[in-house]
Structure 1
Amino acid sequence: MKVKRIFAPDMRQAMRRVRDEIGADAVIISNHRVAGGVEVVAAREEDYERAQAELKRSQQKIRPVAAPASVPAEDALAAELRRAKLRIAEARRRAEQPEAEVSQAVNRQIDTEEDEDLRFILQSLKTRQDEQTRRDQVAESVEPENLWATVPAAEASENDASGALVQSMQQEIHQLRALMEQQLNRLSAVPEVPVASSVSPAAPLQQRLQGLGLGSGLIRQLTASLESELSESAAWKNVLSRLADSVPVIGEEYIARGGMIAFVGATGVGKTTTIGKLAARYVLQHGSSGLALVTTDCYRIAAHEQLKTFGRILDVPVRVVDENHNLDEVLMSLRGKRLVLIDTAGMNASDPEGIQQKQMLASVSVRLKKLLVLSCSSQRQLIEKAWSNYQELELNACVLTKLDESGSLGDALTLAVEKRLPIAYIADGQKIPDDLIVAQRQDLVSRAVVAAQSDSAESDPLSSGQFFRAG
């Protein structure tokens, strides 16, 4: 039965992949949650039913064998003899494995010398069993009138013969055990031949995913349960498709929903510029009457001036939160606006000012959406620190900026997948409002591959074409 394991961010996407890759007659065998989504095991219905029928037929062929009520001494010894022979056969089988070529000479010596001893012992046992059978036949042929006279003599003869047979079989079993111990001792003296380590078929894919800058946990998740029969090119496409399915995105114009949106993040990640791009886009589509801009950054004069410049150009009001006007009062005064974009101060969230700002954002009485702005040019530690600083605000989505300055998208994509933080927009330049687009899964993965290709070409122009092949 051909079984497929399918990974997706949620069950709805998993079912869609099951229908696309297996068909409408697919049977779900199992499903469970994994890091970053769900994993579904499915198969074609006819394959599943055929496997179930075959399992039932194989179970019907198995019949339990009842153990005898009492086992004679000869049968117990014969059983012990069989077990000893099985142990010797198992020892021979291990000795004959092709990966230990050094032990072949020892195996041949055991075959030529000890097989003769085994055949002799078995032949002796067979002869004694034949003699016992003949004695039984003679006892059955005695006439009834002479039966009583022969019974005591027969019993005495039988007891003597049985005792001798038992003693003989015990001696032969001891000989078999001695032979087995001798053989095992010889095998233990044979030096082990090291087995060449095999390279996992997923290793090349993992190396290429590392080139994209993805985290190790996400790489293991993407390469888990890959079909072994896939070619490298097909496996690479499969892995990229899994990556695209696992990246959470908003997938539509986020500001079109309206509301009050606060942009948070570290200093210099592009919060103010992103607000300017979104404000210009909104004015071009809906006009300026329904838009207002707010800044809580009362620590930098330049931040006020930049946002006020945007306000003058776009003809929209700009409000400043300071000691005379708190954030809740300013937002309450702008309840009539359809969209309010809030610029915040970029500072360490563990500093007193940063703690105060987080408390201010969390305590407003109006419904406030929070978008985390992440610079793709930042190191992984800074991106993870930004998430850690602001996650308690219950972030709704994120914006990835400075793609034009970054050599890798892997760190930001890894964070989005592992933290299940949807990506709303990506910014790849300073032009307002052009260099800002709605995030799409396939586009993000394509950009990640192109960025890795460009970075590889700059570091090693001769090998870049070999590392990321087409497909």
Structure 2
Amino acid sequence: MNVRRYQARSMQDAMRQVREQQGPDAVILSSRRVDGMLEVVAATEAPTESTPPARPSSVRSARPVAADPDLAAMRRELRDLRSMLAQQQALSERDQWAVRHPLAAEISERLVECGFEDTLARSLIGAIQEDMASDDAWNRLRARLSASIATVQPGVLERGGVLALVGPTGAGKTTTLSRLALHRIRRLGPDSVTLVTLDRQRIGAYKQLQAFGQMAGVPVMLLENERDLVSLAKRAASGHLILVDTEGRAARDAAEHPLFAQVRHLIDLETWLVIPATHQAGVLRQVLQAFQRCEPSALVLTKIDESERLGEILSVLLEQHLGLVFQSDGQRIEEDFHKADTAHLTGLALGESSVRLQPRVEVENSWFASREQAPLVRPEPSPRTATPTPTPRMAPAPSVMTRDSLVLESVIPFRKSAHAAY
């Protein structure tokens, strides 16, 4: 290593001396002012024994030199210094932007605190004008975010066919299946739906569906494989709805062995992907990517009430094309299951709806109204301590609903929260 020290009146003069003495490949190691003069330390690789001394304009030898610990440490310091300067420059540019756009900077910071990714936050505030009032700007941003979340209509629940729920373990597929079945029973009666499970790994999942089927008066079938599902679907009457529960799968297994790949073309099959709002953004992205091979047509978002930062989840939802069809925010079968409501989700994500909204009992859309049953009469409220009348089919229990009481509940309009827009 050839290290030399130069003194000059200016950096241009010092660089000229370095090029003349050590060539264009010399590296500046340090520079400082000493007694009014600029002192520069430069280094270049020493020539090898088989190569004559290089002239100032010669090319650096391609042969590597022996490692110098001091030089390696100095290079690391220079690399760290460059990285620090780049970060400071980026921070300075952001600070300058914040000074020029204080309102947008304030809203962007608030979005990031709510869990939204920085790039998404910067994109959302693109339409904000600095002369707007703060409340007006926030309302516009809320409306833009709500409108950006895609939703779909549950057409399969109207026309019938086969609807399968897929997703990771613990996402809430079995509970969602029971809720959808109860909606169908509410409209067309227990003969209009069949419950099927392909989950032979978890006995508890089948037992849960079996108990629900006994109370609701609907058949529950445990099938061996997807071919059995094809046979069942072909025997079903037109307009009959078959709801299929599947076992929870890890992302890698779902990607390598997609469900229904061999039978999808044989029957009228639709799949919904059930995802929990408790997943971190990175895990949720893996789930969405892995289950794409199952060809889902819609998303069901569950466990919203357990999510710490819903903005993180919405950031991921905005990156993909699948629309949201249902959402759930609790364990109650009726009150905590709603059609997709992006306005309410946005409010929750922005920290504006921390209190659970009270449910309504009015039916506002014929989607839940029975076409064949008599007009419904809302029962008079009874005290919590009142004991339901026993039925001959099943003895009543505090935590288990009898079949007759479940049928009675199934003809009572589903009570949806004030945020649900049917």
Q: Same fold (TM over 0.5)?
A: yes
Aligned amino acid, residue 284 of structure 2: I
CA contact (8 A) 1:263 1:271 kept: yes
Question: Where do 1:35-50 residues align within 5 Å?
Answer: none
Determine the structure 1 residue equivalent to 2:327.
426
How many Å apart are 1:325 and its aligned residue? Answer: 5.7
Aligned with residue 161 of structure 2, among 255, 259, 265: 259
Question: Where do 1:148-227 residues align within 5 Å?
Answer: 197-199=96-98, 200-201=101-102, 202-227=104-129
How many Å apart are 1:337 and its aligned residue? Answer: 5.2
How many Å apart are 1:423 and its aligned residue? Answer: 0.7
Residue 197 of structure 1 aligns to a residue whose secondary structure is: helix
How many Å apart are 1:303 and its aligned residue? Answer: 1.4
Residue 434 of structure 1 aligns to a residue whose secondary structure is: coil
Structure number with bigger Rg? 1
CA contact (8 A) 2:258 2:294 kept: no
Determine the structure 2 residue equivalent to 1:86.
none
Alignment partner of 1:408 is 2:290: no
Q: Distance in 1 between matches of 2:346 and 2:124?
A: 13
User: CA, structure 1 residues 379+287, in 2 after alignment: closer, same or farther (shift >3 Å)?
Assistant: same
User: CA, structure 1 residues 337+310, in 2 after alignment: closer, same or farther (shift >3 Å)?
Assistant: farther
CA root-mean-square deviation: 2.7
CA contact (8 A) 1:253 1:438 kept: no
Aligned amino acid, residue 443 of structure 1: H
Q: Distance in 2 between matches of 1:429 and 1:295?
A: 23
Aligned with residue 271 of structure 1, among 151, 167, 173: 173
How many Å apart are 1:251 and its aligned residue? Answer: 5.5
Q: Distance in 1 between matches of 2:239 and 2:335?
A: 24
Aligned amino acid, residue 348 of structure 1: A
Question: Where do 1:93-108 residues align within 5 Å?
Answer: none
Q: Structure 2-normalised TM-score? A: 0.56
CA contact (8 A) 1:292 1:334 kept: no
User: CA, structure 1 residues 360+326, in 2 after alignment: closer, same or farther (shift >3 Å)?
Assistant: farther
Alignment partner of 1:437 is 2:329: no
In structure 2, stretches of 5+ residues that fail to align are 1-91, 356-422
Q: Distance in 1 between matches of 2:138 and 2:226?
A: 58
CA contact (8 A) 1:277 1:434 kept: no
CA contact (8 A) 2:116 2:314 kept: yes
Alignment partner of 1:295 is 2:197: yes
How many Å apart are 1:223 and its aligned residue? Answer: 1.1
How many Å apart are 1:293 and its aligned residue? Answer: 0.9
Determine the structure 2 residue equivalent to 1:280.
182
Determine the structure 2 residue equivalent to 1:153.
none
CA contact (8 A) 2:160 2:240 kept: yes
Percent identity over paired residues: 30
Q: Distance in 1 between matches of 2:154 and 2:246?
A: 24
User: CA, structure 1 residues 382+361, in 2 after alignment: closer, same or farther (shift >3 Å)?
Assistant: farther
Aligned with residue 289 of structure 2, among 355, 373, 388: 388
Determine the structure 2 residue equivalent to 1:66.
none
Aligned with residue 242 of structure 2, among 318, 323, 340: 340
The structure where helix makes up a greater share of residues is 1
Q: Structure 1-normalised TM-score? A: 0.51
CA contact (8 A) 2:146 2:342 kept: yes
How many Å apart are 1:433 and its aligned residue? Answer: 2.9
Aligned amino acid, residue 337 of structure 2: L
Deviations 1:223-245 (A, max 9, x none): 11422211222211111111011
Q: Distance in 2 between matches of 1:447 and 1:345?
A: 30
Q: Distance in 1 between matches of 2:226 and 2:284?
A: 34
Deviations 1:346-395 (A, max 9, x none): 012433x8744525576451121111111111111221111011112332
Determine the structure 2 residue equivalent to 1:319.
221
In structure 1, stretches of 5+ residues that fail to align are 1-193, 455-471
Moved more, 384-393 or 263-272: 384-393
Q: Distance in 2 between matches of 1:280 and 1:416?
A: 27
Determine the structure 2 residue equivalent to 1:245.
147
How many Å apart are 1:447 and its aligned residue? Answer: 2.4
User: CA, structure 1 residues 433+259, in 2 after alignment: closer, same or farther (shift >3 Å)?
Assistant: farther
User: CA, structure 1 residues 408+451, in 2 after alignment: closer, same or farther (shift >3 Å)?
Assistant: farther
